[in-house]
């Protein structure tokens, strides 16, 4: 039951664009139910979104200092 609540809260965090909180909740849910494919897939998706966001920020800052 707790894993389901964490998943739903993570989904809400992802909707609100707070991926770091979403990832934290999904990691915790994944520890509770490691065999859940939906949680694993969402965690992978959130991590990819965070990576893309970091890469975009790096690119923007690189342009500012060149």
pLDDT per residue as tens, the chain (66 positions):
899 999 999 999 999 999 999 999 999 999 999 999 999 999 999 999 999 999 999 988 887 776
Phi, psi of 50 (to 5 degrees): -65, -40
Position 27 scores a pLDDT of: 96
* pTM, entire model: 0.83
CA 26 to chain CA centroid, nearest Å: 7
Biggest distance spanned by C-alpha atoms of the chain = 51
> Which domains does the chain possess?
2-64 (1.25.40.10)
As a whole number of angstroms, the distance between CA 36 and CA 30 comes to 7
CA-only gyration radius of the chain, Å: 14
Q: Is 41 exposed, middle or buried (0-12, 13-18, 19+ CB in 10 A)?
A: exposed
């Amino acid at each position: 039951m707790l894993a389901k609540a964490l998943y739903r809260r993570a989904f809400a965090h992802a909707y609100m664009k707070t991926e770091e909180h979403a990832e934290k909740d999904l990691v915790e849910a994944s520890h509770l139910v490691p065999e859940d494919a939906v949680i694993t897939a969402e965690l992978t998706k959130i991590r990819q979104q965070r990576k893309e966001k970091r890469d975009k920020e790096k690119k923007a800052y690189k342009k500012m200092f060149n």
